[in-house]
């Protein structure tokens, strides 16, 4: 039987902040996940009336890595009915292995869990997550990736899953620019290699899907330093894949790494939420980090322009799982400062949705 865990925070707190042109960013707090630390790099998606999320990594003893703390990957899966008056997270099972930093997408059949990593390896495995009659998680294998892959970006374009970038091993000093596609209606063909991104290989980019096109935005590239250690270069270039080719778009106003992905989309607008802009990359001590970007950027796909839509009023997370939900988007946990996770879960209402509702 599933263990039901009641949370002290049931639906609470409406936060609104002004953005450009009088738009607003609305976030509604949902019950926090029942873990004191929370997780970054989790998998998440929608199954019927429930949000299902789990996996990811944290520092469960509270000791940060620069103080000798050990990063631990997890496999617990939780479910929540956000519309229930007595909303409560419950444990519904476990991933096939402890895993995080892959891609998860809600599809007609269930939730697709792609790749990811633990402390020693990056996974090729791809799973379809559904619920058994008793409400517990069950898994069916889908075609595996050609290589282990984590920290890539991905989105669902119609019935096709697109992936771009990522790193193939835990000690990688370069990121790939490879572009893969799985057609869910012809999955027996496996993952097909499509034209590679004609730019620097990258990890922790933001993906989106709009009007049959796949978008890959920003992220960071890697290169080895003199000691052979990976060094990040923060990126702000933006790309669209449509009709079999890549098109360079207007650059983001500034670099962003590990923003919410897949990005929230409303109409013709893509919203890039939170992210690491690199402005604190040179800090002498991670303990002085002030948190990640509160800014919400809006990209108008028709005009190829960027603007500021507003700011988050909750702690801005990176490496956060995102679940589309009735025109809004549910954000599950993430990292709010280097090494520091959050147990917060909130519902994000895109400003474009609010504007359309009042036309």
Within a domain: 5: no
User: Cβ neighbours of residue 311 under 8 Å, at least 6 residues apart?
Assistant: 17, 19, 25, 294, 295, 296
Within a domain: 229: yes
Within a domain: 303: yes
Within a domain: 160: yes
Within a domain: 131: yes
Q: What is the pLDDT of residues 264-301, one digit of tens each?
A: 999 999 999 999 999 998 898 999 999 999 999 999 99
Whole-number pLDDT of residue 85 = 86
Whole-number pLDDT of residue 24 = 66
Domain of 261?
A: 12-357
H helices of 1-67, where?
Answer: none
Predicted model pTM: 0.92
Within a domain: 1: no
Q: What is the pLDDT of residues 171-199, one digit of tens each?
A: 999 999 999 999 999 999 999 999 999 99
Within a domain: 210: yes
Within a domain: 20: yes
- Is the distance from CB of 334 to CB of 346 less than 8 angstroms? no
How many structural domains compose the chain?
1
- Is the distance from CB of 214 to CB of 207 less than 8 angstroms? yes
H helices of the chain, where?
Answer: 351-357
Half-sphere exposure of 341 (CA within 13 A, CB side): 31
- Is the distance from CB of 239 to CB of 249 less than 8 angstroms? yes
Q: How far apart are CA 79 and CA 93, in angstroms?
A: 10
What is the domain-level CATH number for residue 262?
2.120.10.80
Whole-number pLDDT of residue 23 = 63
The DSSP call for residue 41 is S
Q: How far apart are CA 219 and CA 216, in angstroms?
A: 9
């Amino acid at each position: 039987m599933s263990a039901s865990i009641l949370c002290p925070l049931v639906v609470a707190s409406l936060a609104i902040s002004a953005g450009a042109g009088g738009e607003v960013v609305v976030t509604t707090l949902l019950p926090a996940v029942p873990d004191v630390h929370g997780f970054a790099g989790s998998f998440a998606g929608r199954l019927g009336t429930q949000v299902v999320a789990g996996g990811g990594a944290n520092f469960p003893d509270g000791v940060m890595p620069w103080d000798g703390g050990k990063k631990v990957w997890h496999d617990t899966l939780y479910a929540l009915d956000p519309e229930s008056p007595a909303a409560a997270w419950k444990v519904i099972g476990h991933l096939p292995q402890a895993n995080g930093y892959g891609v998860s997408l809600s599809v007609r059949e269930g939730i697709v869990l792609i790749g990811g990593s633990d402390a020693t390896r990056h996974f090729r495995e791809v799973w379809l997550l559904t619920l058994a009659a008793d409400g517990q998680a069950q898994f069916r294998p889908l075609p595996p990736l050609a290589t282990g892959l984590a920290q890539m970006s991905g989105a669902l374009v119609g019935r096709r899953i697109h992936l771009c970038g990522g790193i193939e091993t835990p000690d990688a000093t370069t990121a790939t620019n490879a572009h893969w596609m799985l057609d869910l209606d012809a999955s027996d063909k496996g993952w097909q290699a499509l034209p590679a991104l004609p730019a620097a290989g990258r990890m922790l980019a933001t993906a989106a899907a709009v009007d049959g096109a796949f978008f890959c935005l920003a992220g960071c590239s890697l290169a080895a330093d003199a000691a052979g250690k990976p060094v990040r270069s923060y990126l702000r270039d933006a790309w669209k894949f449509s009709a079999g080719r890549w098109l360079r778009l207007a650059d983001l106003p500034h670099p962003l790494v590990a923003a919410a992905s897949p990005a929230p989309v409303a109409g013709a607008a893509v919203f890039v939420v939170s992210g690491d802009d690199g402005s604190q990359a040179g800090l002498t001590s991670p303990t002085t980090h002030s948190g990640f970007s509160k800014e919400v950027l809006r990209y108008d796909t028709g005009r190829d322009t960027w603007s500021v839509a507003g700011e988050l009023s909750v702690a801005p997370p990176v490496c956060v799982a995102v679940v589309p939900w009735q025109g809004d988007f549910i954000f599950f946990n993430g990292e709010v400062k280097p090494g520091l996770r959050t147990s917060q879960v909130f519902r994000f209402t895109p400003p474009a949705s609010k504007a359309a509702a009042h036309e």
